[in-house]
Structure 1
Amino acid sequence: MPVQRDTRQHIISTSRDVILGRGFSAVGLSQLLSVAGVPKGSFYHYFKSKENFGEALLEDYFDSYLNRLDELLQPDGRPAADRIMSFWGLWTDPESVCEFGARCLVVKLGAEVSDLSESMRAVLREGTERIVARLSQCLMEGMRDGSLPKDLKPVQAALALYDLWLGATLMTKLRHDTHAFKNAQLVTRQLLRLD
């Protein structure tokens, strides 16, 4: 059983950069198989279809992303406001760009697959809802520890901030500059009343 799990994970892991680079629709099965170094039969042993592979790719992405997010937001002696601002800072950090920001599968595939695959859209929606829930929890902690305003609406603020940063990521890709990230940082500080 471990060999099967390793091969399946290998296909997912080796395909992520290809999908991030070209998109889901533009990458053919033969390219995925070539990058992974597995025969066609192996692919279909682990995935019923390319769409099923896409679902697994997104689920794996969100599992990794949420594990990293949990590490970043967990109480560590710093106020919650500092922890959440550190998270947003990673979106613009060149060292972290592979985890957050420009290398985000949500940004890359959100618009593309939402119209093509209801099941992949559902995975994207559920994954982003889990991210927003983590952000909301951190905002609530900030309200309790006094680092954020007591009248903040954490669920709405978390959703607005995540939407803001996803949009900033898209605009950064379109413009090839970081102005959108700088604006997102400013708006985030204003919304959280940190200035």
Structure 2
Amino acid sequence: MPTAPGSTDTRRGILDAAQRIMAHKGYAAVGINEVLAEAKVPKGSFYHYFSSKDAFGEAMMKSYFQEYLADMERVLEQGGRSAAERLMTYWQQWYDTQSVDECHGRCLAVKLGAEVSDLSEAMRLALKEGTTAIVDRLERTIDQGLRDGSLTITGQARATAEVLYNTWLGASVMAKIHRSGAPLDTTMAATRLLLGQ
């Protein structure tokens, strides 16, 4: 049952529904009516919450990255474990949630990155901000690993974080293209080598 107009719950429901649908179909292939039907929100309510589809897309990307970074923080801040163990848990979680047929909404950056970067400057900037925050967090964990001695790298922490993130994004796309987990297997092995694991 939809919540009262203006409620945070209704807006949240629209964004959650959009993430689920667009993780499978992409951005351009999904109409607002489909999202509203999935969220069980009356058609006329959309513009009460979002001024345009572009503003809605930007809000969806920001919401996605906020949730993603919170999940990432939970993994990378686990107490009693070395930075290397925490970082490898993060990559394993990525591996587990990037299956070929079902990503459970965890792959929006992979699914929408190239598509919306050409369609919407606001969404491109939300993607840039979100992916930069992920790389920042990876860099901090690599720095922690260098300090606690659990990681060894040949370059700088920032460059290593960027290479790893870019590689995992690319592997996720290739896994979908080939309908195979092999690109993720190769990337996991390369990650272990790059981090001295």
Between stretches 85-94 and 127-136, larger displacement belongs to 85-94
Pick from 16, 19, 22 the counterpart of residue 19 of structure 1.
22
Count of residue correspondences: 192
Change (3 A) 1:152 1:77: farther
- Give the distance between the partners of 1:171 and 1:13, measured in 2 at CA: 26
Q: Over residues 87-114 of structure 1, what are the superposed CA-to-partner deviations in whole Å (9 max), with x where a residue is unaligned? A: 10112226997468xx410010001000
Distance 1:70 1:99, change over 3 A: farther
Is 1:137 aligned with 2:140?
yes
Deviations 1:104-144 (A, max 9, x none): 10010001000010110000000000000000000000000
Return the match for 1:91 from 91, 94, 100: 94
CA distance in 2, matches of 1:88, 1:112: 25
> 1:65–1:2: structure 2 CA closer, same or farther, 3 Å change rule?
farther
Contact map agreement 2:153 2:194 (CA 8 A) in 1: no
Tell me whether 1:29 sits opposite 2:32 in the alignment: yes
Q: Which residue of 2 aligns with 1:10?
A: 13
Per mean C-alpha deviation after superposition, the further-off stretch among 26-35 and 146-155 is 146-155
1:61 — aligned with what? Answer: 64
Q: Using the alignment, how far apart are the partners of 2:11 and 2:20 within structure 1?
A: 16
User: What TM-score results when the alignment is normalised by the length of structure 2?
Assistant: 0.91
Alpha-carbon distance in 2 for matches of 1:152, 1:3: 50
Do the aligned partners of residues 95 and 31 (structure 1) sit closer, same or farther apart at CA in structure 2, a change above 3 Å counting?
Answer: closer
- 1:169-184 alignment, distance < 5 Å: 169-184=172-187
**Partner SS, residue 129 of structure 2:** helix
Change (3 A) 1:141 1:152: farther
Q: Does the residue aligned with 1:76 lie in a helix, a strand or coil?
A: coil
Question: Where does 1:100-115 land on structure 2 (aligned, <5 Å)?
Answer: 103-115=106-118
Specify whether residues 105 and 3 from structure 1 end up closer, same or farther in structure 2 by C-alpha distance, changes over 3 A only: same
Superposed CA RMSD in Å reads: 2.1
Partner of 1:123: 126
Q: Which runs of 5+ in 1 are unaligned?
A: none
Question: Kindly tell me: are residues 57 and 116 of structure 1, through their superposed partners in 2, closer, same or farther at Cα, counting changes over 3 Å?
Answer: same
Contact conserved, 2:15 with 2:60, CA < 8 A, in 1? yes
CA distance in 2, matches of 1:128, 1:111: 13
- Name the residue aligned to 2:194: 191
CA distance in 1, matches of 2:147, 2:78: 12
Pair 1:46-2:49 in alignment: yes
Conserved in 2, the CA contact under 8 Å of 1:107 and 1:169?
yes
